[in-house]
Structure 1
C-alpha cells in the first residue's frame, strides 16, 4: 500500500516522536563557534560521530518515506547524502557567533548554498529526482507541534496573548487586502500575509504546506522575511531608546513586529533583561497561534477551490477532507500529545532532541528548495509587486504593534 505524502509525513513525524519518547537518544551535534580553535573542535571524533549518527537517522527516515510514497529508491540513496553535506555546511555557518548575533538562521544559509550550487552546476536527472523539499518541510512541521504546548499559553501572560491576537488578525487582513489590491497571486498573498503577521519563516512554511504552494515562491517569501528582519533587529532598539520607551513596551513592540525568533532575542538583548523577557513572551504567544492559523488557512483554501478554476463550485465535505493537508492534523496531534498526555519529565527529556532534529529537517528542506530553484526563473516569474506588498505590510505591522504595545505595556 502506498500512502499519500501528507499521510506519510504524519506517520514519519510520529515515528521520530515515538522513538524519542521510547528512549532513543537523538544525537545533538554542536555547531556553535567563534574562532578557529572552536571551529576545529567541531571536527572532533565525538562531535563527528554525533553528526554521523544524525545522518544515519535522517537517511533511514528519508528511505522509509520513499518506500511509503512509492518514490524510486536509487535517487534517494544517492542524492540525500549530498544534500546532507551541503546542509552541514549551512549549519556550520549559522553556528558562527557573529552571524548568530545578527539573528541569521540556518535556513537562510541552507537556501543560499542550495541556490549557489543549483545555479552554478548542472544537476543530473537522477539527482533532481532525489530532491523532495515538500516531504522534509512537512516532517519538520509535524515535529514543530511538539514545541507548541497549550499549557504554556498561560505562561505567555494575558497581555501578551491579547496583543498577539490583535496584531495577527489586523496585520494578516491588511496584508491580504493589500496583496489583492496589488494583484499579487493567491499563493504569494497567503504566504506573505502569514509571514508578516504571525511568526515569519515558520508561518510561511506552514502556510505553503497548507495550500500546497510552490516551493520557489516560498523561498522568495522566506528571503524577504530574513532580509527585512536584520535592519529591524538593529534599528528598532535604538529607536525605542531615542523615544524613551520603557523596557516592557519596547519588548512588546520587538516581539510583536520582528518576524524571526532569533532576531527577537538578539534585539531584546540590546535593550535589557526585562525587554528580552517581554519580547520572548509576546513572540511565543504569536507562535502558539501558528497551529490555529494553519488550520484556518487550510479550511479556507480547500473550500475556495484552486486558482486555475478547478472547484469553482463549493466542494462538499468529502472533497474538503481529500484536499485538506493532513500534516496540520499531525502538528495539532503532536501538540496535544506533549501538552496533555506525556508527563513533564518525559517532555523535558525528549524536547531538546526533537527540536534539534526539527531544525535539521527545515535546513535540509531549504537546501533542497535552493537546489530546485532557478534564480532566473524566480526573478522572472515574481515581479516587484510582492516585495512592495511585503514592505508596506511590514511597516503597517510595526506601527500597529507599536500602538498596541503602548496601549497594553506603555
Structure 2
C-alpha cells in the first residue's frame, strides 16, 4: 500500500461539516455502493434483468475456444460494466483530489488485468485447485511490484481502500438481517466466541511483545473478522499508522493461503462430516474467498469413495453461516468499540486531555454505515419470504449480481494491494507481528475444532437449508 493511499495517521479535524459527505473517501464508497444497490433493487422490483446482464464475469471454461466465444458474445456487457465502474469511480477520485485523466488511464489497465484474472480463475484447472480471483490478483500484483514494478504514474488508480470500502458496502447487500436470523443462534454464537477470542489473543500477545496498540488492534481485527476488509476498517477507526494495514493484510493473506490446503487435508484425515468440516473452516479461515475455496474443496471429497459423511452442500453452507454471516457482521461492532476505546482511553491517556467523543463519529468507518443500510434494503426485499423463496427469487435476480460486482471491487482492491506492497517496506516490522497473528491462528484452530467437532457437532451434522 502506498503512502498516498492512506491518511490513517493524519490528525483528524475537529469538525468536517457537511463537506465530509463529498470530500471523504468513506462517503464516496457509500454513495457508489448504495447507488448500485438502490438501482439493482429498483430494477428487481420492476422485474428487469439488467443487473444480471451488467454484472458479468467469465464462466467456467476448459478450452481457449470456450473462453473466446464467451468474451466475443459478452463484449457489450463487459464494455457497459467497464463504463459504469469508470464513470462512478473516476467521479469519486476526481472529487477527492486525484487527476481524473491519470486515474482513468490507470483504472482502465486495472480493469483489463481484472478481466484476465477472472478468466484465469474460471479455468477448469484453476477451479480444480480452488484458485480464487482475489487471491490470484494479489499474487500477480505482488510479483509485479517486487520484480519489474510499474511506472509511478499508473499508481493513480491503485486505490486499495476506495475499492474495498465500496466492496464492503456491496457485501452488506448479500447479508440481509433475515439471513442472520436464518443462520440460527448456534452459528452466531460460535462465530462470536471465535471473533472475541481471536481478537483478544492477537491483541494481548502483540502488546506483550511490545507492539503498538493500534497495530495490535489492526492485526486482531484482521484475524477475528473478515481479513483485509476488517484490517482497513479498524485501522481507520483507531487512527493506525499507514504501515500498519499492509502488515496485517500480508499476514491475513499468508495464513489464508496456508489454510486453503491445510484445513481440507486435516478434515479429511479426521474424516469429519461435511457440515462439521465446513463449520471448522468457517471458524479458522481469515478471508472469505480463501475460506470458500477450502469449503468447496472439502465438498468435493464428500461421498462413499472417501467415506466422508454428509451432503456436499453442507460443507459450503455451514462455512457460509459461520464465516460470511456470523463473523463478517462483527466488522461494524469492532469498528465502533475500538474507535470508542481509542478516543476515550488511548488518546486521552497520551495527551492528558479530555476525550472528544465527537471523534468517535468522525473516524468511525462510514462505509460500515453503508454496509448496514445495504443490508436493510435487501432485508426489505426479502421480508415475508422463506429461505427457499429467497434462494429461488431474490438471490439470482438481486443478490447474485451485487455479489458479482462486489467480487470485481475486491479484485481491484487485491490487485492494488499487490501492486503497491513491497516486501522491503515491511521488513522493519520484524517478526513480532507474525508471532502475534500466529497465536491467533492457533486459537482459531483449537476453539473452532472444539466448537465444531465436539460442542455443536450434532447441529452441523444435521444441517439443512
| TM-score of the two chains, using structure 1 as the length reference | 0.87
Aligned-residue offset at 1:237: 4.0
In the alignment, the residues of structure 2 paired with residue 176 and residue 194 of structure 1 have an alpha-carbon distance, to the nearest angstrom, of 9
SS at match of 2:433: helix
CA distance in 2, matches of 1:18, 1:311: 43
Q: Does 1:330 align with 2:378?
A: no
Q: CA deviation at 1:177?
A: 0.8
Q: Does 1:266 align with 2:296?
A: yes
- The Cα of 1:163 is off from its aligned counterpart by 1.2
After superposition, what is the alpha-carbon deviation per residue over 1:276-302, rounded to whole angstroms, capped at 9, x for unaligned?
Answer: 443333223223333333333343345
Q: 1:194 to 1:122 in 2, by over 3 A?
A: closer
The answer on whether the counterparts of 2:296 and 2:315 sit within 8 Å (CA) in structure 1 is no
Unaligned runs of 5+ in 2: 1-18, 44-49, 303-309, 386-392, 459-465
**Counterpart residue number, 1:279:** 319
The alignment's C-alpha RMSD in Å is 3.0
Q: 1:279 to 1:19 in 2, by over 3 A?
A: closer
How many pairs were matched up? 408
Cα deviation, 1:83-109, whole Å, max 9, x if unaligned, reads 222222222232233333444332222
Question: Residue 160 of structure 1 contacts residue 285 of structure 1 at CA under 8 Å; is this kept in 2?
Answer: yes
Higher mean C-alpha displacement, 149-158 vs 116-125: 116-125
Deviation of the 1:246 alpha carbon? 4.7
Distance 2:240 2:39 in 1: 30
Counterpart secondary structure, 1:157? helix
The correspondence of residues 111-122 of structure 1 with structure 2, limited to 5 A, is 111-121=138-148
1:401 to 2:401 alignment: no
**Counterparts of 1:246 and 1:341 in 2: how far apart (Å)?**
34
In structure 2, relative to structure 1, the CA distance for the partners of 1:32 and 1:185 (3 Å cut) is farther
TM-score (norm 2): 0.77
2:244 and 2:114 map into 1 onto residues whose CA distance is 21
2:34 alignment partner in structure 1: 14
Residue 220 of structure 1: CA displacement? 4.1
Q: 2:55 aligns with which of 10, 28, 43?
A: 28
- Shift in CA distance, 63/190, structure 1 to aligned 2, threshold 3 Å: same
CA distance in 2: counterparts of 1:104 and 1:247, whole angstroms: 21
Whole-Å Cα distance in 2 between the matches of residues 95 and 233 of structure 1? 18
In 2, the alpha carbon distance for the partners of 1:194 and 1:349 equals 33
Partner residue, 2:180: 153
Partner of residue 97, structure 1: 124
Q: Does 1:318 align with 2:318?
A: no
Match of 1:391 among 438, 457, 460: 438
Aligned partner (choices 218, 222, 239) of residue 191 of structure 1: 218
